[in-house]
Structures are given as C-alpha cells and as structure tokens.
Amino acid sequence: MARNKVQFQKGLSEAEFDRLYGTEEACRAIVYSWRWAKGFVCPVCGDTRHCVVKPRQLFQCTGCGRQTSLTAGTIFAQTHLLLRTWFRAMYHLTQSKGGISSIELGRRLGVTQTTAWKLKHKLMQVMMERDAGKRLGGRIEIDDA
Ligand SMILES: [Zn+2]
C-alpha cells in the first residue's frame, strides 16, 4: 500500500458509498490499488509475474511460487470478514461526528458487538498511526491478544 486512504470524504452519502464500495469486487479492486498501485509485486522475491489461484483468489508468484493474499500483512488480514464489511465500518466510523459505539456499529454491520469492537479498535489504531505521521505500510499487523 503506497498511501493510506482509509478515510472517506466527509458527507459522502450512504447511497453514494454503496455505489462506490457496495460490492466485494469494488473493495478488492480498491485494496489492490492501495497495495499494488503499479501492479502485483511478490513480497518475497519482487517478481511481478503471477497468476491468481481460485477459489481463494490467492496471488501466486511465477518467480518463487509463493502465494499471498490481497490482504496479507494488512489490517484486513486474519479476519473472516468481507472487505465490504471493513469498508462499511470505516464509513460509519468516519461519518459520525461523535463517534459510534460498538453496539451501534455491530447493529449497522450485522455483526456481533465483539466483532464490531475489534473492527473499531483496529481501524482507530490505524487512523491514529496515520495521524501521527506514519504510513500504513504493507506489513501492519495488529494482534488481537
Ligand atoms: Zn516471488
């Protein structure tokens, strides 16, 4: 990810949000452009030749054979949530002035409060790090424990 764009324009309507980010494919395309702005680059050997292995849509490097996922090493990794759910969480967190409780976030996303709480805290940590001038690199890992 070259630049952190985990923030949505203030005042983006929910309808417009849905139009732009309403599908998993749209979210994947955006995360792809954040991570590999100039196209896929193998995190191990730097080769750009690759193929996509279905059904998990892993990227397999032609050079070294290593498989990597779109979200490996990003905050989106190691969750079973759709990227769409993450995007909606980001939307709700950035649109509400007074913040949003994890209960409310969970209700809006259709996930448990615990999941909403984790999402919220991971995203807030990333936003905080960004505000502190750090880049959201390709290797941010946040441990649930
Ligand atoms: Zn490789």
pLDDT in tens, 12-66: 899 999 999 999 999 999 999 999 999 999 999 999 999 999 888 899 999 999 9
- 58-61 sheet: strands from edge to edge: 50-53, 58-61, 67-68
Q: Output the CA 132–ligand 1 centroid distance in Å.
A: 33
What confidence category does residue 1 fall into, taking pLDDT thresholds of 50, 70 and 90?
very low
Indicate the SS3 state at residue 87: helix
The alpha carbon of 39 and the centre of ligand 1 are apart by a number of angstroms equal to 14
pTM for this model (two decimals) = 0.79
At 144 the pLDDT is 47
Domain boundary assignment for the chain:
14-131
What is the 26 CA–ligand 1 centroid distance (Å)?
26
Distance 37 CA to ligand 1 centre (A): 17
Is the model more confident about 135 or about 47?
A: 47
Q: Determine how many CB atoms are found less than 10 A away from the CB of residue 39.
A: 9
Cα 28 to ligand 1 centre (Å) = 21
For residue 7, name the pLDDT band (cuts at 50, 70, 90).
low
Helix (H, G, I), strand (E, B) or coil at 6: coil
How many A from CA of 23 to the centre of ligand 1?
A: 29
Helix (H, G, I), strand (E, B) or coil at 104: helix
pLDDT digits (tens, 9 = 90+) for 55-111: 888 999 999 999 999 999 888 987 789 999 999 999 999 887 778 999 999 999 999
Question: What does the H/E/C string look like for 9-62?
Answer: CCCCCHHHHHHHHCCHHHHHHHHHHHHCCCCCCCCCCCCCCEEEECCCCEEEEC
For residue 138, report the distance from its CA to the centre of ligand 1, in Å.
16
